[in-house]
Amino acid sequence: MNETGLPAADLVVLVLYLAGMLGLGFGIGRRVTGSDHFMRAGGRVPGWAVGLSIFGTYVSSISFLALPGKAVAENWNALAFSLSLPLAAWVASRWFVPFYRREGDVSAYHHLEKRFGPWARSYAAICYILTQLARMGTILYLVALALAPLTGWNVPLLILLTGLITLVYAWLGGIEAVVWADVIQSVVLLLGAVACAVLLVVQLPGGPAEMIRVAAEHDKFSLGSFSFTLSEPTFWVVLLYGLFINLQNFGIDQNYVQRYAVAESEGAARRSVWLSAWLYLPTSALFLWIGTALFVRYTVQPELWTGEGSWMERPDTVFPHFLRTGLPTGLTGLVVAALFAAAQSTLSSSINGCATLTLVDGYRRYLRPQASERESLRVLRGATLVYGLAGIGVALAMIRVRTALDAWWELASVFSGGMLGLFLLGQIARGARAAAAVSGVLAGVVVIAWMSLSRQLPESWSGWRSPLHPFLAVVVGTLTILCVGLLCSRRRHGGDG
């Protein structure tokens, strides 16, 4: 062991990965000559690379750590979320991709101005940026917490290292560097996860048969209750939640929509959506398999648990504990690189997406519509720097004020929950105008806020709490926006008639 806490072989693996990310940024950065290349990569990236990029954006370090913890504590109920992906991918490839390719805009929200006015475009862009800042901070913070015991480095240093390296290649190479970094990171992430899944079973006395037997005895492969109650996270509630979240991702999330513009053709963009969906479905099952294997490992061999307290009471710490104590030299470096990769893929996409919207929906829309390519590129790189540093700042702040930032993330999610309904209203209700859209969004935000926040009301106010599970907030909120918008639109036309 060296002074970092990592054996030399593991440190070499990690350094090679991080150096590769920086080298990629410098290599691609030399080719970036204008804002369009920075935002679209010239529209010439092959579909398979775009698909891996979408997949890498989808699998954040939260998925890498949270899904195994979920399987340790409960079962495979979370897989219902992933099972909604094929349907969402079909909708996206059938309608969303052709729509955005036809519009020709790199911004996911430019078309909202055509339908409902500038307020809708700005509302969606601001909600996206707020949500991404909270997401960047959370991902940086959580991956640093997981990496600290593995590397021997402290949390602030890991936040800075992860954030700054990501910022450098995103600043230099724009979306092209982000996409090709995502490709490498997706491969590293999958290799790390597969290695953990295989090693856990190989190390278990009795091998796969013993794992399946013990897991089945404890009902760990269950997909959850199939009852039709709406107050619990049943299979149907999680499936419905996954469908709406995935439609939101593919339909109005700048991270995804920008990839459609990067692809070399509409067919390539369609294929990228399907590739990302079919990759994430087995990958989520892989992470749940890891969690189940961890449960069996410490059930059959409780002496292997050397962490604080009972592992059953701290399921989210079980996978990091295994990573710290159960991996052989060399493989630890690969898994540490995989954790870095999971975080950096999401971070770079968020940084580039926020910078793109700042230029297209902010600077060019309100300040300098005729900005030159050189000026636009300066704005993009300046915004990239600002958002990258802001994400690092949010993560560092989380070390001390996690509760306040959790509340901020929840509030940002409340407001962003209206974005899918607004998009669908514009597509479905051709006669809807600004007044109907404003009414729908206000009603939807109120409903989402009530469903998301009312569970925190004191016991004396329990009668005002939502009876529905919080997962359904985005479902009910989206449908509220649609229904209210349609009603207002029809009333207006009925009055005109």
What would the pLDDT profile of 209-219 be if each residue is shown by its tens digit? Answer: 999 999 999 99
Please give the model's pTM, rounded to 2 decimal places.
0.90
pLDDT of residue 409: 56
pLDDT of residue 494: 58
Largest CA distance in the chain: 80
pLDDT digits (tens, 9 = 90+) for 183-223: 999 999 999 999 999 999 999 988 899 999 999 999 999 99
**pLDDT band at residue 231 using 50, 70 and 90 as cut-offs:** confident
End-to-end CA distance of the chain: 80
Among 270, 226, 254, CA closest to 90:
270
The CATH number of domain 8-401, selected from 1.10.940.10, 1.20.1730.10, 2.60.120.10, 1.10.10.60: 1.20.1730.10
Q: Which residue has the tokens 């590397």?
A: 151
pLDDT digits (tens, 9 = 90+) for 56-113: 888 877 778 888 989 999 999 999 999 999 999 999 999 999 999 999 899 999 999 9
Question: Would the CA dihedral through 308, 312, 314, 316 be positive or negative?
Answer: positive
pLDDT at residue 2 greater than cutoff 50: no
Domain ranges of the chain: 8-401, 417-497
Return the amino acid letter for 164: L
Distance separating alpha carbons of residues 425 and 436, to the nearest angstrom: 9
Contact in structure between 244 and 478 (CB atoms under 8 Å): yes
pLDDT digits (tens, 9 = 90+) for 429-486: 777 889 999 999 999 989 988 888 787 777 778 788 888 888 888 899 899 999 999 8
pLDDT digits (tens, 9 = 90+) for 249-265: 999 999 999 999 999 99
| DSSP code for 263 | B
Q: Which residue has the tokens 């015991």?
A: 149
Q: Give me 303's structure tokens.
A: 């002496």
> CB 455: neighbour CB atoms within 10 A?
12
Half-sphere exposure of 186 (CA within 13 A, CB side): 23
pLDDT of residue 292: 96
Among 24, 9, 57, 1, CA closest to 334:
9
